[in-house]
Structure 1
């Protein structure tokens, strides 16, 4: 019974992510201030980690007010995760606690890299990657720069989210049958 409820929650989270992505496409207020000290860079993410799983991992450390999960926008990996994300907490203290607790922690066999997004090194990395072709799109609970995405990239992201939802449903049916 509990397993079934958890799977329904995951499905609802995935649907909510798709809806938030669509809302973010038209929300010019969705940009966040990376210098505020409450925004974290989360890197070295295994490609199997979903937005919902990321939120679940980081929510014990405080109130998450936004997350930006980055996706490939062009090429053969279009619509697939980039392997890093940004999480913004309500306060700087919550962000620092999450950084202390989560940096180096294993997730799907890989150690997470968690840094404050305001740290100069990460600002330079983001600046350099945008010069290299800007093949990144973001989706998130509070929005992002998604309005810069091409229509086909937006569709690819939504299709991947729906595919993940279908896979979740398929695995829950197998578990219930077994």
Structure 2
């Protein structure tokens, strides 16, 4: 594997919990004392009612992993506009998402894809596993007779199975 690729992953920071008043310029100004910033991705809403508004997080790419680690140490938890910044290596954020997920299969898939790259395969693997889990749950629910009985009662089929309930209703209306 190319070591430059590893360095890029380790020198890219996720910056979260940004106040909506923080601008791209102010973000660069906050992080530039720690080293040379080679790129910055300020995330914006691209559709919906919040289109054009900041999403509250960004990514900053430093020239070296040492600069990124220094920025992380100095800026994580720092109050900016009364909010503590969340600063992590971008690859760490993916690991934490995987660890927080209760499905161990998703966590394992995420960890294994992290060793290969930092390009977002973790999110894709996690999404696929979550969809499979949801489909399995829906399938089990449709085969569960107890759930079907509840659905029948709600839809009114219970009256067809219990003729006395029809007689009671007819007597009340007449």
- Between 79-88 and 118-127, report the one with greater CA deviation: 118-127
Give the alignment of 1:64-103 within 5 angstroms: 64-103=37-76
Q: Secondary structure at the match of 1:56?
A: helix
Tell me which of 104, 107, 110 is aligned to 2:77: 104
Take 1:121 and 1:55, find their aligned partners in 2: how far apart are those partners?
25
Cα 1:94–1:127 shift into 2, 3 Å = same
- Asked whether the 8 Å contact 1:34–1:118 carries over to 2, the reply is no
- Asked whether the 8 Å contact 1:35–1:118 carries over to 2, the reply is no
Higher helix share: 2
Say how many residue pairs are matched.
Answer: 99
Question: TM-score, normalising length from structure 1?
Answer: 0.50
Question: TM-score, normalising length from structure 2?
Answer: 0.51
Q: Secondary structure at the match of 1:47?
A: coil
1:171 counterpart residue number: none
1:46-85 CA distance string (max 9 Å, x none): 0000000000000000000000000011111001000000
CA RMSD of aligned residues (A): 2.6
Take 2:14 and 2:78, find their aligned partners in 1: how far apart are those partners?
14
2:139 counterpart residue number: none
Larger Rg: 2
Structure 1: gaps (5+ residues): 1-31, 132-178
Superposed structure 1 runs of 4+ greater than 3 Å apart: 32-35, 122-126
Take 2:7 and 2:49, find their aligned partners in 1: how far apart are those partners?
30
Structure with bigger RCO (C-alpha 8 Å, 6+ apart): 1
Cα 1:33–1:80 shift into 2, 3 Å = farther
- Asked whether the 8 Å contact 1:38–1:116 carries over to 2, the reply is yes
